[in-house]
Each structure stands twice: as C-alpha cells, then as structure tokens.
Structure 1
C-alpha cells in the first residue's frame, strides 16, 4: 500500500472518530436511557403467573351454605390456608409481564361450621378477559382454515384408492432376493 493512501486512510479514520465523539456530546440533552446503546436491546423476560386464577364465572357459582369440598371443586385448592385461621381460605393470583405493571388479585372465602358463610375480594375478570390479557402482542398472521371442503375430501379419496392392477397383483420380493424370515414374537413355552 503506498504511503499517501495509508495517510489518507488514517486521516479519514481520525475524522470519523472525532465526528462520533462530537455527536456523543450533542446527545447529552437527550434522556440517558435512549442514548445508551445498551438500552436499545432488552432481554426477554418470561411471563410469571403465580397462584390460583379465580374467574368471575366461578365467583358467581358460590352460594352461602356450600361445604368445603364444594368450594374446592368450584374455586380449586386455596393458595393459603392458615392453621391460625382454619375457617378462612385465601386465593391469591399474580401476573407479571414484561412492559406491563404487575397485576394481583385476591379473593377470600370464610367458613363457619364447615359451611361457606361469606366471600369477598377484588373484582375478578371473566375467563375471556383473562385470556385476552394473556394474548401475545406479536401477530403471526391469520390462522388457516383447518376444515376440508367436499371437493378436497373426494380428491384425497381418489388419490388413496389403489389401481385395480395393483390390487390384483400379489406382493412378492423382487426376483433373486431371498424371502425375509423373522423370529417368532414369543419364545416357546418350556
């Protein structure tokens, strides 16, 4: 490489470095999180779902006088059942998602003489509302129709039918190939 090209490449690199450094100082007025290249890429954080989800439909099925087993069949096993509060079951549910404030729901049922006395707690979402919250933000496109038409079914049936010549001809190994003998499936009884 000739000497004059080497010096021009160094000069160009030096000018580029100075320009980059000068532009960094002009970004000082911007927020530090948007200017920092490390903050441009964020790691993936999984959704954390903890506890027992209790829907509005399940709450509507509760009636005073239900037994503990009936309540457990309706709402599921409680997340917290304390020895010190044997007549109280707590259902706690939390949902933590990336980019969304954590959501927490609490519902408590109270028993008296092993019968449901009362129940109270947060306003619970319906099952449809909860599923909508879990929906992915990414849209992967339309879901294809998974049902075949009559024309497609008849076309597939025609393809799967064997030809009459193939059905009449017995299947035998090619000439010159010995027949394969397989061992018995069960050992002889002794």
Structure 2
C-alpha cells in the first residue's frame, strides 16, 4: 500500500510535464516582452566618445593632433592604412530611451587638423543629458508643511505626567543619574 501511495506524487509530476509546451511551440521574444508576460532586463551598452556641440566648437582647423586628442579624447577608431583619419563613434542603447549613434570624423594633413565632419543631430550637453535621462519625476510634489487652518483643525496633543513642563524644569527623570562629562575626558598634559 505504501509504495502505491508514494508513487502518486511521481505520477502527478510526470502528468504535469505533458502540460508544458515544447521548445518549438514557445512564443518568441516580441517587442519588450518574453512569453507576453515578462519584460527582460536589457544591458545598457555605451561605446565610444560622447561629443557635444560645446566640445566640437573648441576644435579649430590647424590644431595639432595632440591638442585635438586633449579636447575630444582618444578616437575610437584609428586606421593603420589611413593615419590621417580619426573616427569618433558614439553609440548608446539604454532601456527606456531610443538608441543613439553618431560619427564625428577628423581629417589631418600631416600633424595639423584639416577638417572636422560633424553630424547635424549632434546635441548640446544639456540636450544629451535630457535624452538619456530615464528618471521621470512625479508631476505632483509632496506637501511638506501644514497651513495655519490645517494646524488649528488638529486635535491638541495629550499631556502626560512625563511630558509636563514642570518635569523638565526639575531635572532628569527619577532613577536616571548621569556622570559628569568632565570625569570621562582625559586630562590635558598627562
């Protein structure tokens, strides 16, 4: 009888396996949801150099390569076969925002900057920060203080024997004795 009772949970478990869908019948990842229920975590990928209008405005033709590198940072791509071209590529894929991709190309003649090709959609610094900010503050700010009318509508606080003003004037509550502060401090010069 006991072996028969012990086999019921095993049979129930095996019977439940027929309910599970097969690998081929599982729905695929569509949009932002897996199986139509779960939103997976997507890794934030940031690659390259963040360049803004303010940074690019400081770079002028005729600057040496070292100065361009100081202002814009090291380029993401430098080609061995085209030493006169630096590619500043920036991509960001962040959950909750649209993916961004930009390419700024610096061309050199010898050691001097010849030209800087900048995309039209290069944002200003404040615009870039606003574009990647996924924190949406609540529209309604919490109320921090009561008005005088709300204060007067509150019930008066209950006074107990411990919080009476005479107890504070008499000193510490009975049964509490505190040592003087100067007894615990080390003496100077010893």
Normalised TM-score (structure 1)? 0.54
Does the C-alpha gap of structure 1 residues 170 and 45 become closer, same or farther in structure 2, counting only changes over 3 Å? closer
Q: Which of the numbers 76, 79, 83 marks the counterpart of 1:79?
A: 76
**5+ residue gaps in structure 1?**
1-32, 144-164, 173-190
Number of residue-to-residue matches in the alignment: 119
SS where residue 39 of structure 1 aligns?
coil
1:130 equivalent in alignment to 2:144: no
Normalised TM-score (structure 2)? 0.54
Q: Matches of residues 36-185 of structure 1 in structure 2 within 5 Å?
A: 38-123=35-120, 124-139=122-137, 166-171=180-185
| Larger helix fraction of residues | 1
Q: After TM superposition, which residue ranges in structure 1, 4 or more long, deviate above 6 angstroms?
A: 140-143
Greater shift after overlay, 39-48 or 93-102?
93-102
Q: How far is the alpha carbon of 1:37 from its aligned partner? A: 8.4
**5+ residue gaps in structure 2?**
1-29, 142-178
* Coordinate RMSD, CA, aligned: 3.1
